[in-house]
Structures are given as structure tokens and as C-alpha cells.
């Protein structure tokens, strides 16, 4: 089985696979150019989540374009 392509939402940076749209915000604006990812388990306590303005749990792209 082929692995689904990873995509990152351009609006909220959520990294997801396969779906047509972002499971977090529903946007169809995505990029497949993902430079670095973080897994946020506790957005209130994560410094990097604060810097990236992430308020949800999940996997997020650090840099997208
Ligand atoms: Zn999104």
C-alpha cells in the first residue's frame, strides 16, 4: 500500500494525510512542501506552540511555503 501524501494546511499548519481538506479548519489551501514538523500534545505549555500561534493538539508544520 502506498503511503498517503502528507499535506500541511496553509492557514493553520495542521499536517494531515490523504483528505481533501484540513480536518482542523476545513481549508482546502494546502502545501506538500513541509519543512519540519512538531507534535503538540499540550499547546498551553509548549513554547514553540505559542511562537507558532498553535492552540490545538496535533501535528503541525514549522515551515511551509
Ligand atoms: Zn487548517
Domain span at 26: 6-64
Q: What is the pLDDT along the chain (65 residues), one digit of tens a residue?
A: 667 789 999 999 999 998 789 999 999 999 999 999 999 999 999 998 999 889 999 999 998 87
How many A from CA of 1 to the centre of ligand 1? 26
Say if CB 8 and CB 61 are below 8 A apart.
yes
How many A from CA of 16 to the centre of ligand 1? 9
Provide φ and ψ at 62, rounded to 5°: -80, -45
What total of structural domains would you count in the chain? Answer: 1
Domain assignment of residue 1, yes or no: no
Domain assignment of residue 11, yes or no: yes
Provide φ and ψ at 49, rounded to 5°: -60, -40
CA distance 40 to 51: 12
Say if CB 5 and CB 34 are below 8 A apart.
no
The CATH number of whichever domain residue 29 belongs to comes to 2.20.28.90
How many A from CA of 26 to the centre of ligand 1? 6
Predicted TM-score of the model (pTM): 0.81
Amino acid at each position: 500500500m502506498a503511503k498517503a501524501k502528507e499535506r500541511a494546511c496553509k492557514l493553520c499548519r495542521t499536517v494531515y494525510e490523504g483528505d481533501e481538506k484540513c480536518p482542523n479548519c476545513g481549508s482546502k489551501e494546502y502545501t506538500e512542501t513541509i519543512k519540519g514538523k512538531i507534535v503538540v500534545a499540550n499547546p498551553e505549555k509548549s513554547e514553540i506552540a505559542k511562537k507558532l500561534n498553535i492552540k490545538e493538539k496535533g501535528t503541525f508544520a514549522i515551515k511551509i511555503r
